[in-house]
Amino acid sequence: MATATIVVTVINYKPKKKEETKELLVSKKEDTKKGTESNETFKVDIKGEIINPGIYSLSSSSRVIDVIEKAGGLTQNANTTVINLSKKIIDEMVIIIYSNEQVQNFSKTKEVEQQVQQYCIQPDNNALKNDACITESTNTSSKVSINNATLEQLQTLPGIGVSKAQDIINYRTEHGHFQSIEDLKNISGIGDSIFAKIKDYITL
């Protein structure tokens, strides 16, 4: 009697690798996170030369220019020379739009133009901080030379008044030229905190 032969075909099924599944989960989680962030709302206070000054709610991805547009735009007397219009907003941000007269009073000369920007970053004690200021330092030619600057030029630096400016001049008179900008910390009254404020605006 003949014996029947049965042939069994096995289909090799390969499930997705765990790594691929993990990547999909991570990607989905990131997309969800991005969606949550884009839906977050910040409140911003805009003042000065603006059509409708006040407090506005915008998405966290908005920028200063978006706040200005939502507030009705700039007045004819507005000057945004020292304002970074592309800066992203933060919650409880204060934006101050200066007038042409304010900027002109500060920038009668090229030398004082830098003072306008620094005043924007660090105003007088009684003035409101302007979070929309341009904070990046400009090129080296606009920096104050601690070896050659006059008393008035040194006073344009944030945190440096008449007394500290005179101390800087007295120090270089007694010890010669500064060898590095860090040498400023050898002067009494100029510690790490003040140096941190002025280091981006000085050169030898």
What CATH number does residue 194 fall under?
Answer: 1.10.150.320
Return all residues near 79 (Cβ < 8 A) that are at least 6 apart. 49, 97, 98, 99, 100, 102, 103
The two tokens of residue 168 are 């800087």
Q: Is the domain of 92 the same as that of 151?
A: no
The two tokens of residue 180 are 């590095």
Per-residue pLDDT of the chain (204 residues; tens, 9 = 90+): 555 555 555 555 555 555 555 555 555 555 555 554 457 899 999 999 999 999 999 998 999 999 999 999 999 999 888 788 888 888 888 898 988 887 776 655 445 556 666 667 666 666 676 777 765 544 444 678 888 888 888 888 877 888 888 889 888 888 888 888 888 888 888 888 888 888 888 888
Q: Cα separations (Å) of 144 from 103, 115, 139, 155, 189?
A: 20, 11, 11, 10, 19
Return all residues near 179 (Cβ < 8 A) that are at least 6 apart. 204
The two tokens of residue 175 are 């010890």
- Tell me the residue range of the domain where 166 lies: 140-203
Q: Is the domain of 144 the same as that of 174?
A: yes
Q: Is the domain of 146 the same as that of 84?
A: no
pTM score, whole prediction: 0.43
